[in-house]
Structure 1
């Protein structure tokens, strides 16, 4: 959709003031078309276009958790879900500083994940456009997709072991609306390293530990039990059920290794070292 037509709609709806005509495109890992609306020299709003199903899912997530300060504040959602507008989050993405991962995970657990809401039985697991009856089915799908990428980076017995772990996952009936792409690449920091925002949700219905482990595995530093355990222990029992952290992390790390091979091959050595560490903890 032409951005000028969007601007006209937003002016007519009273979302934008007439003097807000200067636009600045945003680039990054997102598949969306994203521009920032400037108020003079100050970034004010973000207009994000994407497939309507994706826009609808992102808007639902942000509106459901409007009270979470770290998430983007929705200003306007197009009735046909062609785009949405949210307030600009000041700071920098891809500015994660290694060394404070434990504190970052604690902040994510207490300020974001702790406020996730349980969903009704009618909702299915996974993505809205690719639902699954059980959570383990979603995890098995991700496992199979990851194996195609990892191939001989890990030995065949490791692939079989992960499949066995995932297939044996207990059905805990925990249905929460999750961010789904909860990694350091979507975290906004200010210059002193403080986390100020979380952007670009790819919403998934699933178990809250999924998001926390996703964040933990999203950078190759400090991938040890003492880094993540304090954050996990802050979550309420109804959000975790009877979990086995070693197994849960190993699954998340398997998914991350596949992502690493595709997008960050330089980190593979650190991830395979972490893989062996967690594999030894599970066996």
Structure 2
């Protein structure tokens, strides 16, 4: 949709003041178009265009968790779900490897602990690719990741991960998750404190998924001591019966695939972490 038409619509519904005409493209996701609306020299609002089902899912997430301070505030949703508008979240978007354990603890207590369970009628996974069970969603991710990883890991490792996921218990934990909860979507203060979490790609699933996603999203400090305080802070009802070592191995497997595609310079650190966590279960 032409952005000038969007600006006109936003002015007609009273979202924008007449003087806000200057636009600045921002880095978006793989399929979204993201543009900041400037108020003088500062971004004030963000327009995000995407497929209708994805826009609707992101709007649901931001609306459901509107009380969470670290999330962006939803301002307007196009009735046809062609785009949405939210407040720009100021801060730094570069992670400097400071206090990762504190970062995860903040994420657990200020975001994930406030997640809300969903009804039985909702399916697991992404809204445009639903699954009946959580393990089916994870098995799909294992299959897609395995195609990318190939011989970076041994055949035994690939079989181990598949058996791990296929044999996991069905815990009936069904929550609305951020889904893309990595450092690339975090906003920081100058001192490295987490101040914002942006760009959800909502998934219906288990809350621990978002925490492990964040843990694995940078190659530094991938040890049990880094993540354990955050995991222990979550309520038992949000984690069910879990085995941390195997849960992290799943997350690392997915992340190694992402690393190969987008951050190959980090691969040695991830394979080292893979060996560390594998040794904890063998």
Gaps of 5+ in 1: none
RMSD: 0.8
Q: Give, in angstroms, the shift of residue 42 of structure 1.
A: 2.1
Q: Within 5 Å, give how 1:83-94 maps onto structure 2.
A: 83-93=83-93
Cα distance in 1 for residues equivalent to 2:112 and 2:214: 11
Q: Secondary structure at the match of 2:233?
A: coil
Q: TM-score, normalised by structure 2?
A: 0.98
| Structure 1 residue 91, shift from structure 2 partner | 1.0
Query: Residues 166, 281 of structure 1: CA spacing in aligned structure 2 closer, same or farther, 3 A cutoff?
Result: same
Superposition deviation, residue 22 in structure 1: 1.1
Report the alpha carbon displacement of residue 29 of structure 1 after superposing the two structures with TM: 4.4
Match of 1:57 in 2: 57
Q: CA deviation at 1:164?
A: 0.5
Deviation >4 Å, runs of 4+: none
Matched-pair contact (CA < 8 Å) for 1:179–1:202: yes
Taking the aligned partners of 2:86 and 2:113, their CA distance within structure 1 comes to: 23
Q: TM-score, normalised by structure 1?
A: 0.98
Q: Secondary structure at the match of 1:233?
A: helix
Map of 1:37 onto structure 2: 37
What 5-or-longer segments of structure 2 have no aligned partner?
Answer: none
**Structure-1 separation of matches of 2:61 and 2:121:** 17
Q: Secondary structure at the match of 1:222?
A: coil
Q: Tell me the CA shift for residue 264 of structure 1.
A: 0.2
After TM superposition, list the pairs within 5 Å mapping 1:26-175 onto structure 2: 26-93=26-93, 95-175=94-174
Give the Cα separation in 2 of the matches to 1:85 and 1:27.
Answer: 15
- Contact 1:71–1:199 (CA under 8 A) maintained in structure 2: yes
- Answer yes or no: is the 8 Å Cα contact 1:172–1:241 preserved in 2: yes
Name the SS of the counterpart of 2:280 in structure 1.
helix
Which secondary structure does the structure 2 equivalent of 1:84 belong to? strand
State the Cα deviation string for residues 141-165 of structure 1 (Å, max 9, x = none): 0000000000000010000000010
Contact 1:105 1:228 (8 Å CA) reproduced: yes
SS at match of 2:47: strand
What is the CA deviation profile of residues 171-195 of structure 1, one whole-angstrom value per residue up to 9, with x for unaligned ones? Answer: 0000000000000001011222121
Alignment partner, residue 197 of structure 2: 198
Find the aligned partners of 2:28 and 2:97 in 1 and give their Cα distance.
21
- Whether contact under 8 Å (1:30, 1:200) holds in the other structure is no
Contact 1:73 1:87 in 2 (8 A): yes
CA distance in 2, matches of 1:80, 1:157: 48
Alignment of 1:13 with 2:39, yes or no, is no
Q: Distance in 2 between matches of 1:282 and 1:182?
A: 26
- Deviation (angstroms), 1:27: 2.2
Listed one character per residue, the Cα deviations across residues 3-54 of structure 1 (whole Å, up to 9, x for unaligned) are 0000000000000000111111112545311111111122110011111111
